[in-house]
Structure 1
Amino acid sequence: MAPGRSLSLVTSRTALVGMVVGVALGLSLKPALLFVFPALPMRLTTLGPRARSMTAMGATIAEAPSAQRVGLEQEEQEELRGKEEELAELEKLVVQGDMNAHFRLGQALRKGRWIEQDFDRAFELILEAAEQDHVRAQFMTGLMLIRGEGCEVDVETGMNFLTMAAEEGLAKAQNAIGMLHLMGEGPDGEDLLSAAFWLKKAAEQGNAEAQYQLGTMLLEGHGLESNATWAASFFEKAALQGQAEAQEAFAQLLWKGVGVPQSKAQAARWFSEAAEQENAEASFCLGCMLRTGE
């Protein structure tokens, strides 16, 4: 018996309609040292002049700006100046009607890394490019409409823009529209035939997420005729690209010998790969294998 659960479709709508914002915080060396070792200087003063001298020397070294740190600060300042110049140039190109500049400046405003974040203007710029058949802008307009970034949520119109980009061959748009049909987010609800059609298009272009989802549909016969061999093939392709869920799914098939020749050694390999990416099911299965000595 396999150590894991049966495979199921991953249909979390947060994969497409949610937006994740990451914030990195830095802590300078001196506050960090004082926080970790608040009593260290007081304790060393009881050890005599030599200890006090060493402590003072260490503090001087810690506070002195290193050549490396100065170099990094200069590099960051130069990069910032370069980005400011690039943004100023994009503004000029936008005025001239350059649609690629519309898209790039819109993306900068949406992300807010080198410029103050402004979803409203970002949406306006990207939409203008999308309406002029800029494929990546069509994809992003679709996502922004579905998420409500700088606009009212409008899933149906968002799907229309995604479909435009998908029809132009953009794999991530094909995957997105396929997933929306799979999750029943469209005006007609769940549409498995459309889901399979677009996921297959994206999978054939090497989109790992689409390969995993298509493999799951094939394995479970969900909207497609069940075919474990084809499912294993798509899982393997996605697994080789580092898709953790596909790695775990492929390992399950290898463990059971479903769609592929049974190989517990290869199953352990792929469980391990997925576990390193913090896939809980793979970690559990790998633990079971280690405990039973398989």
Structure 2
Amino acid sequence: MSFDFEGYTPNDLYTVPQIYMPQDIYGPQEMYIPQELYVTRDLYAPQNLEYTERTLENEEWNELSIPGYPFTDGIPNLEPAVLSDDLFVTGNPQEVSVRLDYMQGDNPFNAYGNCGLVSVSNLLQLAGIDLGEDDITLFALKNNMCEYIDGDPENSGGTYPDNLVDILKCAGIDAQYQLTWSDMSGITSYEGIADLVESGNGVIMQVNAGYLWDSPQAMSVDENGSALVNHWVTVTGVARDAQTGEIQGFYICDSGRGMETDSCRLVTTDILDDAYMNAQGSSIVYTTSPIRIV
């Protein structure tokens, strides 16, 4: 499957800057409600990130998912696999991680802040649709579905939730988004997200990268010092307590740091409380029906 790029060349991107959130489509920004203004662009990871003890503890826990992963037969995303006496996982995150892109910004269009677009590509890979970062980024730039600032690659490629939904629909995948602050259904809760993943739906989560990576350099805050979302990741698995069934964390594929281990990273709910649940503007983009074939 491919998008229609006929009559269009990548060089056009360098001479025709795109206007992000044009008023003829989205309306005047002064009409936005405050929560909509918090839905910020994506982030390109700064260099030389410093990691704290909290990050190291989380990496030690991630070692549980590496040796001797006992994959189950049948539909991989519906059958939990026991990793230890304490933890079982749904979603087959380690096996699918080899198909996913953990390094954003390596495209020919000078769009480094395209984690949302890479997350769309990763979700499509889970659905068996082979459209990579270059394909999705070019399509988004051509159709004004992402930010483009001429000469500023770190701030090019950013997306809003509705951009990701529109791109997925163009690829034949029906999707919706839901802001956490206005969620009345519970779909953005941990159990809501887990239900989606365990049912085979695709989920992309909007987070604050500073808390996710435990890095002050990647933090975005508002005028009151409250954390703002600035990054997208693909949710690939759910980790539950083997005895109680309580959610302990989620497996994600994160393209922001370019680290191979981030293609299958287990993030605890303690970290997600700050990075997702309490971050201003947090949301999820999710498919309306099961799409996973891997």
TM-score, length-scaled by structure 1: 0.22
Q: Which is richer in strand?
A: 2
Identify the structure with bigger relative contact order (alpha carbons < 8 Å, sequence gap 6+). Answer: 2
Q: Which is richer in helix?
A: 1
TM-score, length-scaled by structure 2: 0.22
> Which structure has the bigger radius of gyration?
1
